[in-house]
Amino acid sequence: MDKNKKPVSSKKSVETAKASPVVKIGEFAFGKENYRLMLIGLAFIAVGFLLMIGGGSDNPKVFNYEIFSFRRITLSPILILAGYVIEIFAIMKKPKD
């Protein structure tokens, strides 16, 4: 028996197998459902910003109270925040294999 040779540990080979994830070349980072959720979130954000448009006055000396409507003050910020939450969820969701 040679003194310079070390015994092979099976524990070490198991640890290295768990540490390195399998990366498939040519696959996208997100799945089809992730992209669908991203588009839905983007639509929510776009609709929210579109609902904020308007409420101005033609005459600068006349104040238009339409700027304080429910649609601009409450509904559109809720839609924008919901869109951002959907976007975060779409990014964080693990795609199905």
- From first to last of its 97 residues, the chain has per-residue pLDDT tens of 566 666 655 555 555 556 666 666 777 788 899 999 999 999 999 999 999 998 777 888 888 888 889 999 999 999 999 999 999 999 999 887 6
Rounded distance between C-alpha atoms, residue 63 and residue 45, angstroms: 28
Radius of gyration of the chain (CA): 28
Residue among 95, 7, 67, 66 nearest 38 (CA): 95
- To 10 degrees, what angle do helices 76-92 and 32-52 make? 160
8 A C-beta contact, residue 82 and residue 54: no
Residue among 38, 34, 41, 47 nearest 83 (CA): 41
8 A C-beta contact, residue 76 and residue 69: no
Whole-structure pTM value: 0.69
